[in-house]
């Protein structure tokens, strides 16, 4: 995983992974994992281990296939 790819994942795609995992009744280990990646990803020199990267990619693939809930805008 390149630094640019990691930055893109953490900035644009990981927040939706966190929202989905927290909302869908996933097990505590998975919830802890996605929170840990979000937390450690803020450190400038953090890089996922090989195993973490594999889990991250699997989650991105699985969650990327599921449609994002439609956002309802509230207008004044």
Task: List, for residues 19-36, the tens digit of each pLDDT value.
Answer: 999 988 889 999 999 999
Considering the entire predicted model, what is its pTM? 0.76
Nearest Cα neighbor of 19 from 31, 27, 29, 10 is: 31
| pLDDT (0 to 100) of residue 72 | 73
User: What confidence tens digit (pLDDT) does each residue in 36-75 have?
Assistant: 999 999 998 999 999 999 999 999 998 866 555 566 777 7
Distance CA 40, CA 64 (A): 22
Q: Specify burial of residue 74 (Cβ count, 10 A radius: 0-12, 13-18, 19+).
A: exposed
| pLDDT (0 to 100) of residue 69 | 58
User: What confidence tens digit (pLDDT) does each residue in 3-19 have?
Assistant: 889 998 999 899 999 99
Distance CA 22, CA 1 (A): 25
Q: Which letter does DSSP use for residue 66 in this model?
A: S
- The number of C-alpha atoms within 13 Å of 40 and in the hemisphere containing its C-beta is 13
* CA 64 vs CA 45, 57, 73: distances in Å: 26, 10, 22
């Amino acid at each position: 995983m390149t630094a640019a790819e990691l930055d893109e994942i953490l900035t644009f795609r990981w927040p939706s992974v966190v929202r989905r995992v927290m909302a869908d009744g996933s097990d505590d280990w998975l919830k802890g994992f996605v929170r840990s990646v979000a937390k450690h990803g803020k450190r400038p020199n953090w890089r996922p281990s090989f195993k973490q990267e594999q889990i991250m990619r699997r989650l991105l693939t699985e969650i990327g296939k599921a449609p994002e809930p439609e956002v309802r805008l509230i207008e004044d």
